Amino acid sequence: MDPKPSLPTSDMICFALYSATHAMQHAYKPLLEALGLTYPQYLVLVALWGSDGQTVGQLGQALQLESNTLTPLLKRMEAQGLVARARDAKDERQVRVSLSTAGREMQARAAGIPGCILERSGMSLAGLTALRDQVNALRDQLRGA
């Protein structure tokens, strides 16, 4: 299952994250496909459902993505009619992203997704939470160093 049992541990944890991320996206894919969304697009919607009208920079902070990734992604979502993009009147350097009606309605249609994934994971909520905290701790250590 693992690429090579003799791999150094630090390489193996990295590969584990790498392949688990792929497996996770694979699990989300059929659920999101039914809504016409990709995984990063879903993340943008989740962020906006939590707080609408965020700037591109705030979304990037939340999702750990740069503007060069977000701009084309948001433009595709705008073309799909999920969000609207508009320069902030106070500071015209900033672009605020807001949910359209279709974008808000998507929340109800996507409501079943987390439960589906939770079930597929075969883990308890407490187990997942603990794992999440450990993975986040590793991430912050690597980023913050």
Partner DNA sequence: GTTAAATGCATCGCACACGATTTAATCGCA
Partner DNA sequence: TGCGATTAAATCGTGTGCGATGCATTTAAC
Radius of gyration, alpha carbons of the chain: 18
Q: Of a copy of itself, DNA, none, which one sits near residue 102, judging by CB under 5 to 8 A according to partner kind?
A: none
Give dist(CA 127, CA 143) in Å, integer: 24
Phi, then psi, of 112 in degrees rounded to 5: -80, -10
Among positions 1, 93, 125, 141, the unique one binding DNA when judged by CB under 7 A: 93
Nearer to a copy of itself, 86 or 135 (CB): 135
Q: Which of residues 13-42 bind a copy of itself (CB under 8 A)?
A: 13-28, 39
Query: Which residues contact residue 66 at a Cβ distance below 8 angstroms, ignoring those fewer than 6 apart?
Result: 60
**Using CA atoms, how far apart are residues 85 and 95, in angstroms rounded to an integer?**
6
CA–CA separation, 83 vs 96, rounded Å?
10
Q: Does 85 bind DNA (CB under 7 A)?
A: yes
Binding segment toward DNA, per CB under 7 A, in 4-12, 83-91, 119-127, 132-140:
83-91
- The answer to whether residue 79 forms part of the interface with a copy of itself (CB under 8 A) is no
Give me the least distance between CB of 98 and DNA, in Å please.
Answer: 12
CA 43 to chain centre: 3
Q: Which of these segments, 3-11, 56-64, 105-113, 122-130, binds DNA (CB under 7 A)? A: 56-64
Instruction: Determine the Cα–Cα distance for residues 49 and 107; give it in Å rounded to an integer.
Output: 7
Query: Contact positions toward DNA, by CB under 7 A?
Result: 18, 22, 25-26, 29, 38-41, 55-58, 60, 64-76, 85, 90-95
